[in-house]
């Protein structure tokens, strides 16, 4: 008996986690998936109506705004954070004095919650008292900067705040990658007379491919989950012009008592994440094998 116990201890230790994982992750995903096929509104109601909720979702202009916003946000956020993070990492990798201090400064926003970031930027971008007034006081009297209250520009304020928060992290990823590049390689290239720019463009950047990959996956993940930043910075407004899918899901599930639509939107978000994740994991596994 004791022997059996001893032999199976690893399984026994892992059993609670396994059970909770099956129920609270996979079970709940199935539950949400099923719920999205019912006519539930305020309360779960197990009367199945096929894809009706999805049809309602995709006929909802607010959902389209949220999805469009996500694409704008994803593309700009990832692009700017990648370029900025990479450039800062390359510059920081030039045997800079006080590198540690500078790195600390670039990265501290990552320790702050999106709610705090949103609150801070809401004040900085405040039309009337924020940046607009600062520039006016500098003498540029006609300067206007009121993206926060313009429905076609509000989503870009989310990009600004998110880049501020996350680009330092991208910098750290690239810096770690650059530190892993073999010194002899760069020396050899320099002896061959390659210019610094050519060296980086033709030799070092291609070596950073895995870092690009994981940075993109992580940033995508942050972007799809960005719920709190929108909530704190714009509240999804003006109107619902800066909503992201996560905010849509929250509003419909918990404020509007339309949990069927909410569940459908959550499932679409899951599929979105999977569409990015599966090719990533696939290529990772393939790389490990070869």
Partner 1 sequence: MNRHILTNINIGRVMIYLILLFFALIYLAPLYVMFTTSLKGIEEIRSGNLMALPVDPTFYAWAKAWSSACTGSECKGLAPYFWNSVRIVFPAVIISTIIGAFNGYSLAKWKFKGSELLFGALLFGCFIPFQVILLPMAKLLGSLGLANTVTGLVMVHVIYGVAFTTLFFRNYYVGIPTELVRAAKLDGAGFFAIFRHIFLPLSTPIFVVTIIWQFTQIWNDFLFGVVYSGSGTQPITVALNNLVNTSVGGKEYNVDMAAAIIAALPTLVVYVIAGKYFVRGLTAGAVKG
Of 52 and 228, CB closest to partner 1: 228
Q: Which of 80, 102, 149, 153 binds partner 1 (CB under 8 A)?
A: 102
CB 219 within 8 A of CB 135: no
The residues, any chain, with a CB within 8 Å of residue 110's CB and separated by 6 or more, are 165, 166, 168, 169
Query: Does 232 interact with partner 1 (rule: CB under 8 A)?
Result: yes
Of 199 and 218, CB closest to partner 1: 218
Query: Does 19 interact with partner 1 (rule: CB under 8 A)?
Result: no
Q: Which of 1, 42, 111, 191 binds partner 1 (CB under 8 A)?
A: 111
Residue 245 CB, shortest distance to partner 1, in Å, is: 8
Beta-bridged to residue 38, according to DSSP, are 48
Q: Residue 166: how many CB atoms within 10 A of its CB?
A: 26
Of 184 and 255, CB closest to partner 1: 255
CB 71 within 8 A of CB 82: no
Residue 269 CB, shortest distance to partner 1, in Å, is: 5
Instruction: Report the distance separating Cα 269 and Cα 224, nearest Å.
Output: 8
Query: Does 154 interact with partner 1 (rule: CB under 8 A)?
Result: no
Torsion of CA 35, 39, 43, 47, to 10 degrees: -80
Query: Does 267 interact with partner 1 (rule: CB under 8 A)?
Result: yes
**3-class DSSP assignment, residue 48:** strand
CB 162 within 8 A of CB 223: yes
Of 65 and 125, CB closest to partner 1: 125
Element (H, E) at 74: helix 61-92
Query: Does 240 interact with partner 1 (rule: CB under 8 A)?
Result: no
If binding means CB under 8 A, how many residues of this protein chain bind partner 1? 89
Query: Does 116 interact with partner 1 (rule: CB under 8 A)?
Result: yes
Query: Does 212 interact with partner 1 (rule: CB under 8 A)?
Result: no
Among the listed ranges 8-16, 53-61, 67-75, 199-207, the one in contact with partner 1 (CB under 8 A) is 8-16
Residue 35 CB, shortest distance to partner 1, in Å, is: 6
CB 108 within 8 A of CB 168: yes
Of 157 and 184, CB closest to partner 1: 157
Instruction: Report the distance separating Cα 186 and Cα 203, nearest Å.
Output: 8
Long-range contacts of 15-20 (CB under 8 A, 24+ apart): none
Phi first, then psi: give them for residue 49, nearest 5 degrees: -130, 20
Could you give the string, one character per residue 158-197, with x where binding to partner 1 holds by CB under 8 A and - elsewhere?
Answer: ------x---xx--xx--x---------------------
Q: Which of 19, 27, 55, 239 binds partner 1 (CB under 8 A)?
A: 27
**3-class DSSP assignment, residue 98:** coil
In the window 35-94, what residues touch partner 1 (CB under 8 A)?
35, 44, 84, 88, 91-92, 94
Phi first, then psi: give them for residue 192, nearest 5 degrees: -70, -5
Tokens 């469009």, located at residue: 68
Query: Does 237 interact with partner 1 (rule: CB under 8 A)?
Result: no
Among the listed ranges 142-150, 185-193, 200-208, 261-269, the one in contact with partner 1 (CB under 8 A) is 261-269
């Amino acid at each position: 008996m004791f022997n059996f116990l001893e032999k199976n201890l690893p399984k026994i230790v892992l059993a609670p986690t396994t059970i909770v994982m099956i129920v609270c992750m996979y079970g709940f995903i199935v539950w949400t998936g099923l719920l999205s096929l019912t006519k539930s509104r305020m309360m779960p109601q197990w009367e199945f109506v096929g894809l009706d909720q999805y049809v309602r979702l995709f006929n909802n202009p607010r959902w389209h705004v949220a999805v469009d916003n996500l694409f704008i946000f994803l593309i700009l956020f990832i692009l700017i954070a990648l370029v900025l993070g990479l450039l800062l990492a390359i510059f920081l990798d030039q045997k800079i004095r006080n590198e540690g201090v500078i790195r600390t400064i670039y990265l501290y926003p990552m320790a702050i919650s999106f709610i705090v970031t949103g609150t801070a930027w809401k004040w900085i971008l405040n039309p009337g008292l924020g940046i607009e007034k600062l520039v006016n006081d500098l003498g540029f009297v006609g300067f206007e900067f009121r993206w926060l209250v313009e429905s076609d520009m509000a989503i870009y304020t989310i990009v600004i705040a998110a880049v501020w928060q996350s680009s330092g992290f991208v910098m750290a990823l690239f810096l770690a990658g650059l530190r892993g590049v073999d010194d002899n390689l760069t020396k050899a290239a320099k002896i061959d007379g390659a210019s610094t720019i050519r060296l980086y463009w033709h030799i070092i950047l291609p070596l950073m491919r895995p870092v690009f990959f994981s940075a993109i996956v992580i940033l995508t993940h942050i972007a799809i989950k960005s719920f709190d930043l929108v909530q704190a910075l714009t509240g999804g407004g003006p109107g619902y012009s800066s909503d992201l899918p996560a905010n849509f899901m929250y509003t419909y599930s918990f404020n509007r008592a339309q949990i069927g639509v909410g569940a459908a939107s959550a499932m679409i978000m899951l599929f979105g994440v999977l569409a990015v994740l599966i090719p990533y994991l696939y290529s990772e596994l393939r790389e490990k094998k070869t």
